[in-house]
Amino acid sequence: MLATGLAVGLAVAAIWSLRGLGGFPLFLWASPLEKSMLLAFGPSQAVSKAFCSLQPPPLLKPLRDVLPVGSALAEAWRRGYTWADWRKDAAAALTVSLVALPLAMALAIAVGLPPQHGLYTAIIAGLVSPLLGGSRFQVSGPTAAFVVILAPIVSEHGLRGLIWTTLLAGVILIVLGMAKFGRYINYVPYPVTTGFTAGIAVVIGTLALNDFLGLGIQTWSEHYVSKLGQIGSRLPSLQPGEALVGGVALLSMALSQRWLRRVPGPVVGIGLGTLCAQLLAPLGIHVATIGNRFHYALPDGGTGNGIPPFAPILHWPGSAAIEWLAWPTWAELQVLAVPALVVAALAALESLLSAAVADGMAGTRHNPNAELIGLGIGNLLSGLAGGIPATGAIARTATNIQSGARSPLAASMHALLILVYVVLLAPWMSAIPMATLAALLIMVAYRMSHWRQFVHMVQVAPRSDTWVLVACFGFTVFVDMVAGVAVGVVLASFLLVKRLADLTQANVSHGTSGRHKKLDNLDLPEDTMVYHLNGSLFFASVERAFERTGYLRDAIQTLIIDVEEVPFIDMTGLVAMRTMILDVQAKGRAVVLCGSPPLVQQVLKELPEASRAQVRSAPSVQATLKMLRVA
């Protein structure tokens, strides 16, 4: 077992060495220009020059391209880092930690696990991912988007299944980053992200009603409509004390942004909700708290209540003493592979989206591949400590920037502060009522829904995008998130293909009828026809592109196929082009292809050798007509 203190110590040592040795740990990864910038940060010019004059080993240069870890930290350091920056980072970390602390507990509980698993995620992934990632202000940790994916995994496979899903997702994220897939993650259409995000918010808000109202639902049904039925059937057993505490917390969070803008809303809401619970206790009204809902094993074999006041510990997979890290069988890996892929895809999408939002707020530019690798390593270590999947959190990242953060150290320090809270304040944290954490989830769901954007999109977006939005939302709520995203992406892709196919046009020029603008001031012989193609020729546009081939008249002896404005042709288009050319040649007519040489050669390669020899080519219609006149 590796104590978390070792990881923290290594991180602190690395940060200290950056300042104390003039950026020596960075020289291996720095270009000559970057090394010159490091000179300003050493204890002396002589020491800095000595370090920066060293050249990285040749083997490390390609390694830097494959593993661009720590690029955000290196960039922040090169720009200059002072004690004033450190103080700003520390202040931002304090604010973010107060926001992240209750969220980490609430999200772990929503998944179906004790709250410490969310805290361990916020500590381990929150510490490691910013230091190794590619976004300067990104804050990583558990997020609400994972709840609808992880809750079924916990229900079906338990903690062990979730841990191995987290580990597999971490490996997938690292592979995606090393393969430089970072820039492709953002290709998911906006209606899809808005639809499944709103759907997730509805599901989370619905599930939170259980603890918010004290309904006592122990096991949820699989389908959303059935969940609503469970809530309806349990409403007569609503606990007024739970509802009052949850209502006070929710109202406090909603109004605190107007009265106490400098204090995080969750702190105000949970604080007042906890105070309300304490005032109700002498009246004989007791509410469920973390302390009386969850228990943990003590080192001496006893049982403790609430949150264990211990730092998370990293364990090696296969450890006999840790049941949830026992090596999975091949059959178990096959079952967990799909959830791991979904978790990795969602983590990558949300993290890079959060990084893009941070860039817009702070005027920075993130490295998507480094961000994926850093996030993957953070998830690996989180799983080894008993944590749940982590990703970049948009709200916490925005809070980090608004609080004056200067470097990735702010995000890492927020994790260290959460560690301090766990070790020192666990008994007091265990007194937090469950209803207040449910109120926090409802507030998160409300903000996550972006309902104004949803309604605005329905009102102004093209009808096809509205279909994608509503379909993705509906499938996410009534089936699951995987189905929602899959249906949304497939439908969006189908509609995009249709739009591209509609852009493909075919025009026929013969004599003085239907003359194309290319033929202005050009003489077109009576026995010659030009077939103009405009747009991509692919499987969806072939029928539209060749629908005018029936206009060929008997008097036509030469057909000019104009593909100058065809940017792309796939195999279906090549086969259709081949069929057209062979049909024309079978009637004793000559064929001339005009267009870019690469595309013309692509078409010619598809023709039989005998047919290919009879086809002439030219770069343009004008050059073709000139060639015909000379002939």
Residue predicted with more confidence, 61 or 16: 61
**Token digits of residue 16:** 């200290």
CA distances to 156, 241, 438 from 206, in Å = 21, 19, 10
**SS3 call for 480:** coil
Burial category of 305 from C-beta neighbours within 10 Å (exposed 0-12, middle 13-18, buried 19 and up): middle
From the list 364, 324, 356, the residue with the least C-alpha distance to 166 is 324
How much is the average pLDDT of 591-605? 92
Given 3.40.50.2020, 3.30.70.60, 3.40.50.1370, 3.30.750.24, which CATH number is that of 504-630? 3.30.750.24
* 370 confidence band (pLDDT: 50, 70, 90): very high
Residue 199 has pLDDT above 50, yes or no: yes
For the chain, the first-to-last Cα distance in angstroms comes to 85
Alpha carbons within 13 angstroms on the beta-carbon side of residue 583 total 10
Nearest-angstrom CA–CA distance, 312 and 418:
11
Q: Would the pLDDT of 19 be above 60?
A: no
| Overall average pLDDT of the 582-597 stretch | 90
pLDDT at site 323: 86
Under DSSP, the state recorded for 145 is: G
All residues at 6 or more sequence positions from 260 whose CB lies less than 8 Å from its CB, including other chains: 268
Has residue 222 got a pLDDT over 90?
no
pTM value is 0.80
Using the predicted structure, report yes or no on whether residue 485 has a pLDDT greater than 90: no
User: Within its chain, how far is the Cα of 405 from the centroid?
Assistant: 23
Share of the chain above pLDDT 90, in %: 55
Distance, CA of 433 to CA of 429 (rounded, Å): 9
303 φ, ψ (degrees, to nearest 5) = -125, 135
- Distance, CA of 612 to CA of 219 (rounded, Å): 70
CA distances from 363 to 251, 301, 351, 377, 603 (A): 34, 53, 17, 26, 47
**Domain spans of the chain?**
2-66, 83-230+242-293+311-493, 504-630
CA distances from 25 to 45, 54, 372, 572 (A): 17, 12, 22, 54
| pLDDT for residue 408 | 94
Measured distance CA(379)–CA(388) in Å, rounded: 8
pLDDT digits (tens, 9 = 90+) for 404-436: 999 999 999 999 999 999 999 999 999 999 999
Distance (Å, rounded) from C-alpha 215 to C-alpha 543? 59
Taking residues 219-228, what's their average pLDDT?
Answer: 90
Distance CA 109, CA 208 (A): 10
pLDDT value at residue 51:
40
Task: Quote the pLDDT of residue 43.
Answer: 40
Count Cβ atoms within 10 A of the Cβ of residue 605 and give its class: 0-12 exposed, 13-18 middle, 19 or more buried: exposed
Q: Number of C-alpha atoms within 13 angstroms, CB side, residue 124?
A: 30
Mean of pLDDT values over 242-267 = 88
Structure tokens at 424: 């020192």
Give the separation between CA 6 and CA 178, rounded to whole angstroms. 27
Task: Tell me whether residue 290 is exposed, middle or buried, using C-beta atoms within 10 angstroms of its C-beta: 0 to 12, 13 to 18, 19 or more.
Answer: buried
How many CA atoms within 13 Å lie on the side-chain side of 310?
15
Is residue 42 over pLDDT 90? no
Find tokens 């629908």 and name the residue.
Answer: 547
Question: What whole-number distance in Å separates Cα of residue 596 and Cα of residue 617?
Answer: 10
Residues 6+ apart with CB under 8 A from 495: 464, 465, 467, 468
**Structure tokens given for 408:** 């990735």
Which of 29-38, 136-145, 466-475 has the least mean pLDDT?
29-38
Quote the tokens at residue 227: 């969940």
Residue 250, pLDDT > 80, answer yes
Please calculate the CA angle 257-258-264 and round it to the nearest 5 degrees.
Answer: 20
| pLDDT score at 39 | 40
- Mean pLDDT across the stretch 317-343? 88
What is the pLDDT at residue 260? Answer: 76
Q: Minimal CA–CA distance to 125: which of 111, 142, 137?
A: 142
Mean pLDDT over each residue of the chain, to the nearest integer: 85
Phi-psi region of 306 (alpha: psi -120 to 50; beta: other; left: phi over 0): left
Q: Is 261 exposed, middle or buried (0-12, 13-18, 19+ CB in 10 A)?
A: exposed
Predicted local confidence at residue 570, as pLDDT: 93
pLDDT bin (cut points 50, 70, 90) of residue 353 is confident
The pLDDT value recorded for residue 63 is 61
CB neighbours of 168 closer than 8 A, spacing ≥ 6? 333, 336, 337, 340, 344
- Going by C-alpha positions, the residue among 242, 227, 215 that lies closest to residue 434 is 242
Model pLDDT, residue 90: 94
Sign of CA dihedral 483, 485, 487, 490: negative
Amino acid 297: pLDDT: 86
In whole angstroms, give the CA distance from residue 9 to residue 167. Answer: 23
pLDDT tens profile 46-77: 443 444 444 455 555 566 666 778 888 888 88
- pLDDT one-digit tens code per residue, 491-526: 988 988 988 888 898 888 876 665 667 777 677 788
Q: How far is CA 17 from CA 7, 90, 126, in A?
A: 15, 19, 21
Please name the residue that has the structure tokens 């300003």: 40
CA separation for the pair 439, 270 (Å, rounded): 9
Q: Beta partners for 289?
A: 433
Sign of CA dihedral 364, 367, 370, 372: positive
Q: What percent of the chain has pLDDT over 70?
A: 87
Kindly indicate the confidence band of residue 550, based on its pLDDT and cuts at 50, 70 and 90: low
Nearest to 409 by CA among 21, 12, 124: 12
Scored b (16 or more CB within 10 A) or e, 462-477 reads eebbbbbbbbbbbbbb
With a cut of 70, say whether residue 328 has pLDDT above it.
Answer: yes
CA-wise closest residue to 261 among 402, 104, 141? 402
pLDDT, tens digit, for every residue of 555-574? Answer: 788 888 999 999 989 999 99
Total residue count of the chain as it appears in this document: 631
Q: Kind of pairing, strands 391-392 and 590-594?
A: unpaired
pLDDT at site 459: 93
CB 510, CB 556: distance < 8 Å: yes
